[in-house]
Amino acid sequence: MLSSILSHPSFLRAVLWFDAATGVLLGALHLLLTEPLADWLGLPAGLLQVSGAMLFGYAVLAAALARSRPVPRGWLWVLIAGNLGWALASLLLWTGFAVLPTFWGQAYLLVHVVSVALLAELQWFGVRRLPALAAA
């Protein structure tokens, strides 16, 4: 059952649309609720503002790729690298090396580490199943 879902031709597009939607939602959250989130999570307001803007840019790229026919493999690798970078940055913040997040901030960052790494994995799985014609 899971194998048939992962191998379905629309699987990668669904992952890309989900990634774009979560990018828009989290970007809006970071930008519209910067101060309350900074207090609640123990993360700098500037970090939340910059990450919110970055999330919007990322979401635009993910949505553009989800609409592309064929999906360009090179740009998918950019998304995968972006997700892995985001997960790594969240992990570094979670350790408290650069900032001291609250308990809720640590939970928020840990959710980012796991969910964004999972998205990268799902995208990597999808890019490997693209036809050779989509290699551009």
Q: Is 1 a residue whose pLDDT tops 80?
A: no
Separation CA 87–CA 118 (nearest Å): 9
Radius of gyration of the chain (CA): 16
- pLDDT, position 135: 44
What is the pLDDT, as a whole number, of residue 33? 97
Q: Are the C-beta atoms of 106 and 94 separated by less than 8 Å? A: yes
pLDDT at 22 over 90: yes
pLDDT at 126: 84
Which token pair is 125? Answer: 């799985």
Q: Which alpha helices (H) appear in the chain, and where do they start and end?
A: 2-7, 11-32, 34-41, 45-67, 73-94, 103-128
* pLDDT tens-digit readout, 24-55: 999 999 999 999 999 999 999 999 999 999 99
Say whether pLDDT at 4 is over 70.
no
Predicted local distance difference test score (pLDDT) of residue 61: 95
Confidence of residue 57 (pLDDT cuts 50, 70, 90): very high
- Rounded to 5°, the CA angle 105-94-43 comes to 45
Q: Rounded distance, CA 88 to CA 108, Å?
A: 14
Looking at per-residue pLDDT, the higher value among 133 and 42 belongs to 42
